[in-house]
């Protein structure tokens, strides 16, 4: 079981660290990119769903009423 660790970091630093780590697993640039993209998506996934922007119809609802 892993402990849940929450830290604040700049997104660029996180992406850089993930790409460096992915480069240890493969020498193929496409594979490194795929691994890093999936890792960043997993890291940001729960936060992206929580901060989802409102759907476009709700942006114009006041103008239509």
Hey, where are the domains in the chain?
12-48
Residue-wise burial string across 17-51, b where 16 or more C-beta atoms lie within 10 A, e elsewhere: ebbeebeeeeeeeeebeebbeebbeeeeeeeeeee
Question: Sorting pLDDT into bands at 50, 70 and 90, what band is 29?
Answer: very high
Q: 61 versus 29: which is more confidently predicted?
A: 29
Say if residue 46's pLDDT is above 80.
no
- The mean pLDDT value for 36-47 works out to 82
Which stretches of 1-65 are assigned E, i.e. beta strand?
none
- The mean pLDDT value for 11-35 works out to 91
- Please tell me the predicted confidence (pLDDT) of residue 11: 83
- Please tell me the predicted confidence (pLDDT) of residue 42: 86
């Amino acid at each position: 079981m892993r402990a849940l660790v929450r830290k604040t970091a700049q997104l660029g630093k996180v992406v850089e660290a993930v790409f460096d780590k992915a480069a240890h697993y493969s020498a193929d640039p496409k594979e490194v990119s795929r691994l890093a993209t999936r890792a960043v998506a997993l890291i940001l996934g729960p936060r992206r769903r929580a901060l989802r922007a409102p759907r476009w119809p709700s942006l114009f609802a006041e103008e239509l009423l």
